[in-house]
Amino acid sequence: MSEKGSLIVISGFSGAGKGTVVKGLVSKYGYSLSVSATTRAPRPGEENGREYYFKTVDEFRNLIDYNGFIEWAQYVENYYGTPRKFVEDEMKQGRDVILEIEVQGAMNIKKQYPDATLIFISTKDIPTLKERLLGRGSETEEVIDKRIRRALEEADSMDEYEYIVVNDDLSTCIDTVHSVILSGKCKKEHKTEFMKGIKSELTEYASK
User: Taking CB within 5 to 8 Å according to partner kind, which of ligand 5GP, ligand ADP, none is near residue 135?
Assistant: ligand ADP
User: How many residues in total does the chain contain?
Assistant: 208
Integer Cα distance of 24 and 176 in angstroms = 12
Ranges within 83-142 binding ligand 5GP (CB under 6 A):
100-102, 104-105
Q: How far is the CB of 60 from ligand 5GP (least distance, A)?
A: 11
Residue type (1 letter), 61: R
Residue 165, amino acid: V
Greatest CA separation for the chain: 74
- Which residue number is nearest to ligand 5GP in terms of Cβ? 105
H helices within the chain, ranges in order? 18-29, 57-65, 84-92, 103-112, 126-136, 141-156, 170-185, 192-206
Count CB-CB contacts under 10 A for residue 194. 12
Contact window for ligand 5GP (CB under 6 A) among 21-29, 67-75, 155-163, 198-206? 67-75
- From ligand 5GP, ligand ADP, none, which one binds at residue 119 (CB under 5 to 8 Å depending on kind)? none
Q: Per-residue x/- marks for ligand ADP, 143-172, CB under 6 A? A: ------------------------x--x--
Q: What are the φ/ψ torsions at residue 85 (nearest 5 degrees)?
A: -60, -50
Interatomic CA distance for residues 143 and 163, integer angstroms: 28
Among 6, 14, 38, 108, binds ligand ADP (CB under 6 A): 14
Which of ligand ADP, ligand 5GP, none lies near 191, with the C-beta cut-off 5 to 8 A by kind?
none
Footprint of ligand 5GP on 25-54 (CB under 6 A):
36, 40
Interaction site with ligand 5GP (CB under 6 A): 36, 40, 71, 73, 75, 80-82, 100-102, 104-105
